A = this chain, B = another copy of it.
Amino acid sequence: METLSTHRAHGGAQGVHRHASAATGTEMTFSVFVPPHAEGARLPVVWYLSGLTCTHANVTEKGEFRRACAELGLIFVAPDTSPRGEGVADDPEGAYDFGLGAGFYVDATQPPFAAHYRMWSYVTEELPALIAAHFPADMARQSIMGHSMGGHGALTIGLTFPDRFRAVSAFAPIAAPARVPWGEKALAGYLGDDRTAWRAHDAVALIEDGARLPDLLVDQGDADPFLEEQLRTPLLEEACRAAGQKATIRMQPGYDHSYYFISTFMDEHLRWHADRLRAA
């Protein structure tokens, strides 16, 4: 692991790191904030998965998470959203919603994407092992959150590993990718046309199929231009209601899909995570 930069911030250290990923077969860049802590302490880890077009940098610069993480003693990890570099396939037309910057947190099975697009394995296996090895992390206390495509990632990963993540939350998640244009394009492109394979990567389908979380927090802006066609929060509300899944899903008046929205509610999400990460 190579450290590309580190900056003192809020009494801790904001780093950006790069490593050769076995999962994706590429170099991968990610950021980690380590809050001030006592020598030898092991700290809970919050995973943040980003949305379409983002890298680690968007939330690192605009997420306004460091103040609360410093106060609450949380490590904050922000991976990239896809493999990148020489030989990594992209959307044939270079669209923003598939390929580079749009890995959708799945392991692709379809050529040419299967070669490198293995973001599920990267985020759930390889990067956690790297974090455990190089940072003062208590891997028995992890939680996960994300935005938009990353909200989809946080929900599907959280639902798949309910014993690993003590808290799961999302900002404007793509709640039912199998039923919306962004998700249909991505899941077909990465996983093929058999829709049964998509259900493991659709939060609403996972809940319908019996997966459960201890609890769930979702914030969604009602002025988000993607709400109706791509995010479809009501499908998540309905699935939680039908399944008896405990959830707090809030429509936030006037908020859009931007980091101005995320940074407004970041503090509250981190406190909600910390309550669960610090419980005995």
Query: What residues make up the interface of A, taking CB atoms closer than 8 Å to B?
Result: 7-11, 14, 61-62, 64, 66-67, 221, 223, 254-256, 258-261, 263-264, 267
Contacts and interface: CB of A to CB of B under 8 A. Distances in A.
Contact of A67 (B9, B11, B267): B267
Contacts of A221: 8
A9 B267 CA distance: 13
Contacts of A62: 61-62
Contacts of A67: 64, 267
Given A9-B264, A10-B264, A259 B223 contact: no
A66 B67 CA distance: 13
A30 to B, nearest CB: 17
B61 A255 contact: no
A261 B14 CA distance: 11
Contact of A261 (B8, B61, B259, B260): B8
A9 B61 contact: no
A252 to B, nearest CB: 8
11 contacts: A7-B260, A8-B223, A8-B256, A9-B264, A10-B263, A11-B264, A61-B61, A61-B62, A61-B259, A64-B64, A66-B264
The 4 nearest A-B residue pairs measured at CB? A7-B260, A9-B260, A8-B254, A10-B264
A15 to B, nearest CB: 11
A223 B7 CA distance: 10
A62 B59 CA distance: 10
A263 B223 contact: no
A9 B258 CA distance: 10
Contacts of A258: 7
A7 B261 contact: yes
A254 B10 CA distance: 11
